[in-house]
Amino acid sequence: MKSLFSFGPAADVAFVFDGADGRPKAGDLQIFTTDENVSGTVSIVAKKLEHVGIKIELLGVIEMTNDKGYPFEFTSSVRDLAPAGTIEDSQDFGFSFANVDKPHESYHGKTVKLRYFVRLTIARSYATNITREQDFLVHVLGTAPEINSTIKMEVGIEDCLHIEFEYDKSKYHLKDVVVGKVFFLLVRIKIKHMELAIVRRESSGGGSDKANDSETITKFEIMDGAPVKGESIPVRLYLGGMQLTPSHKNISNKFSVKYFLNLVLVDDEDRRYFKQQEITLWRSTIGS
């Protein structure tokens, strides 16, 4: 990956990560796993640039829109690239961050962002330091859970409606398929249609600064018309291709991301009856 930045008359800087040609990407960003080394080359082009030292850092930070303070750093590592000197034309510097802790998955949400990036700093005595950042992504690969129980729940309105719904499991990888059934045990109201939605709930901050944001990722109709007692409606929802992330549970005490299956019934007077069930999402392969 090559990214070129201009600093006017001072310097041009380009980052290239090792293995960029064969590495998975999301948009323009390179993807690393948690146990991979982050290495590459940074090129500095300048006519004559005097400096008092050059360093590069690898940082992992959590930024929240409702946090008035500085971003929270959960990973930080620094390498010195050069002592004081002068760059006359152009110079390349190799860098390597081996065994640097990258415990969390990258996440870009509405109220919170978890970023990984390398930051180059060219320190100068009589002028403002030159700094530039290059983001990259980290994917945390999970393994299939040993226990993955089915979800069985009931929804009822006394003497009017009684249904049971069942999903084949409660934990899914991002390319998985949700398979289930809805059983109608009692129907004394006129149902117009039934729909299934996936909802993402993002929580960040704490106390008076706590922010919650819910977003419907997808919604589709699984039944049209009035069911009768004893009827069973199949459910099959393909997760691949949706804008999903793994679930995040209380990351550094800063934020959480949860997913829910939301089953909604709408009657002929447009009244809505729903039941929501949390599911866990995990990543099985890098780049997907």
Residues in the chain: 288
Burial class (CB in 10 A: 0-12, 13-18, 19+), 263: buried
Q: Is 187 within 8 Å of 178 (Cβ atoms)?
A: no
**Dist CA 59 CA 67 (whole Å):** 19
Q: Which residues pair with 182 in a beta bridge?
A: 165, 233
Nearest to 43 by CA among 79, 81, 8: 81
The answer on pLDDT for 68 being more than 50 is yes
Assigned CATH for 151-282: 2.60.40.640
- DSSP assignment, residue 21? G
Q: State the amino acid at position 44 in one-letter form.
A: I
Assigned CATH for 12-138: 2.60.40.640
DSSP 231-276: -EEEEEEE-TTS-----EEEETTTEEEEEEEEEEEEETT--EEEEE
pLDDT tens for residues 187-230?
777 778 888 999 999 998 876 678 889 999 999 888 887 777 88
Residue spans of beta strands (DSSP E) within 18-111: 25-26, 29-33, 38-45, 49-51, 53-64, 72-82, 85-87, 90-97, 107-108
User: pLDDT tier at 7 (50, 70, 90 boundaries)?
Assistant: very low
pLDDT tens for residues 73-104?
999 999 999 999 999 889 999 999 999 999 99
pLDDT tens for residues 98-153?
999 999 999 999 989 999 999 999 999 988 999 999 999 999 998 888 889 898 88
Residue reference for tokens 């500095």 = 44
Averaged pLDDT of the chain: 88
- Tell me what pLDDT residue 3 has: 55
pTM: 0.88
Residue reference for tokens 């700093």 = 121
- DSSP assignment, residue 209? G
| Residue range(s) of every CATH 2.60.40.640 domain in the chain | 12-138, 151-282
